Each structure stands twice: as C-alpha cells, then as structure tokens.
Structure 1
Amino acid sequence: MYFYIEDVITFCDIHQVEVTDMKAPYFMGNGRHKKQDEDMEHNYRIYVFYSTIDLQLSELNRRFNVEAMELLILSSALDPKENFKSFGNEKICKLVEKFYADDFFELEKRNLSFQLRHYHSNISRDPNLGKISSFSEFYHKLVETGKTAIFLLVDRLIRLVLTFPVSRASTERSFHAMKVIKTSALQQN
C-alpha cells in the first residue's frame, strides 16, 4: 500500500481531492450497533485490497486454465531468447503429441525429434538469429534465410504455435479483433 502513496497524495493535493487519513478509526455498522473495527488502513487492506486481489486471481484462473498454461510452457521451448536457452526437444515433442497430434502423421512425429536436433544445432550457430528476442521476428528471419524449407516439420509447428491463440479465441474476442482491424483499415484509407 505504501509503494506509491506519496505520489497518490501529491496527485490528490494537486487536483484538490480529499485524502483519507489511514490511521483514523474505522467504524462498522450504524446507530446503536456502530462499533470501532481497527483503523482505515486495516479496513482498506481487508475489504478492498484483498478482495480486489481475489477477484483478479479468479479472473486469471478462469482465463488461463491448466491446459492453456501447459500449452504456453511447452511452446516456450521454441523461444529464441538468449540463444535458445529454453530449447527442449522433449518438450517440443510433447507439445506436438498433446496439442497438435492431428496436424502430424505418426511418421512425421518420429522424424520431428531427429529434425529438432539438427534444427537446434543449425539455428543456434547462425549469427543472424542469435540476437532476436521476438518469436514472430525469429520466424520471419527463418523464412528470409530459407531455413523453413530445410526444416519443414519445425516450420509447420512454429506456424501452428503462432496461430494457436487466434484459432482458440472466443467468438466475442474474435469479433472484437475483427472490428479493430476493420476500423484500422478504414482509417488508413
């Protein structure tokens, strides 16, 4: 609570907003049943701050279920940051098996493991790809260098990972995104 309190107080003073004294007593109830229940700071922490945190956690848990989190964790094995520090052949194969099983034939799944070994050694030594931090920027560089034609299975997997959030979006979010895109396109014309 005290992280930015001075900034908040300064802002309130500038805009002539009354600041509550957090050390003042807090009374619950009304009339004869009115009783003192600690101070304003205690009330703020218990009834406002903790309740807000609980609501935020509930919303995050609703949006990011166990399956979505596992997908994100396994997908991070393809992340180019820090010269492919998080690369993991086993994680990537598990990603394909669990989330993209229908997109690969059985023989392709077996060949993917071998292709990933060559892919990792080839990509991690390429000076053009070492400093990239964005996954989409990395994929563009792979296309530019022709490596997508060499590592066809990895290319397909990366395209699936990059498009997965769009394909799994709720209808409401999809329509909202389309509205934003159309609005942006109309403004450009």
Structure 2
Amino acid sequence: MKVPNLNALNKASRGQSRIQRDNLTIEHHYLFDIFIINIDSLLTERNSSFNGKVVELLVLSLALDTRDNYKAFRVEDIYKFMNDFNPEDFTKQEMLHMKIQLEHFQLDAYQSMEF
C-alpha cells in the first residue's frame, strides 16, 4: 500500500471551488476537512446528551466525595440536592433536621482524624 505525500496539493473534489482549494495540502484536507469536523460533531452530540439537570446532579453529588477528609463536602449542596431532586421524600421538618445533622457531621469530619 502506497502512503500518500501529505505535503502534496489536494485535488479539489466535486462541488468545491477550484480557486479556494488550489493551495491546500492533503494533510490540511484530512486534518481540517475530515478529522476536526468529525471530532466537533462527536463533541456536539455528547454535550447534547447531558441536560442541565443531569449536570447539576453530577456537580451536587461531588459533595459526597470522601477524599481529603471530606474536603468537597458542602452542606448547602446536599441540602439543595434533597430540595431540588427529592422534595417529595422529605417533609420541611425532616429537611431542617437533616440540615442540622449535616452541619454537625461537617464539623466532626473536619476535626476528626478517623475520617
């Protein structure tokens, strides 16, 4: 199989203006006309598969990360998660009680060597 010279000029294909394409190399054709356009298409498709709620859920779930002595732990994020994604699972009193417990846990986690 013969490997093409990527520095050679690319021949214009159908539908392309000969004037615009005369000074472009084969490397340019593969890099810009094919590779980058396909990568851009894949990224656009991937980004559209995550709506705002899913991204917010992923960000809020980082509050449960146990690394570095619960450094990412944020009471507000867990409370927001409970309020925005599971409001029917908790009464107002339970949510207030949970917020107080989370604040106590946060203090304990930061001060305790066990965590």
Structure 2 gap segments, 5+ residues each = none
Residues of 1 paired with 2:47 and 2:22: CA distance? 36
User: Residue 48 of structure 1 corresponds to which residue in structure 2?
Assistant: 34
User: Residue 21 of structure 1 corresponds to which residue in structure 2?
Assistant: 5
Residues of 2 paired with 1:49 and 1:121: CA distance? 51
SS in 2 for 1:28: coil
Residues of 1 paired with 2:6 and 2:77: CA distance? 50
Deviations along 1:39-61, whole A, 9 cap, x unmatched? 01211122222212222212212
2:62 paired with 1:76: yes
Query: Within 5 A, what are the aligned runs for 1:82-101?
Result: 82-101=68-87
Report if aligned partners of 1:28, 1:37 keep a CA contact under 8 Å in 2.
no
Identity of aligned residues (%): 31
**TM-score, scaled relative to structure 2:** 0.80
Query: Within 5 A, what are the aligned runs for 1:1-189?
Result: 18-29=2-13, 36-124=22-110, 125-127=112-114, 129=115
Instruction: Choose between structure 1 and 2: higher helix proportion.
Output: 1
Cα 1:126–1:19 shift into 2, 3 Å: farther
SS in 2 for 1:38: coil
Report if aligned partners of 1:24, 1:39 keep a CA contact under 8 Å in 2.
yes
Report if aligned partners of 1:77, 1:86 keep a CA contact under 8 Å in 2.
yes
The alignment of Structure 1 onto Structure 2 pairs a total of residues equal to: 110
**TM-score, scaled relative to structure 1:** 0.51
User: Residue 133 of structure 1 corresponds to which residue in structure 2?
Assistant: none
Report if aligned partners of 1:27, 1:37 keep a CA contact under 8 Å in 2.
no
Q: Greater CA radius of gyration, 1 or 2?
A: 2
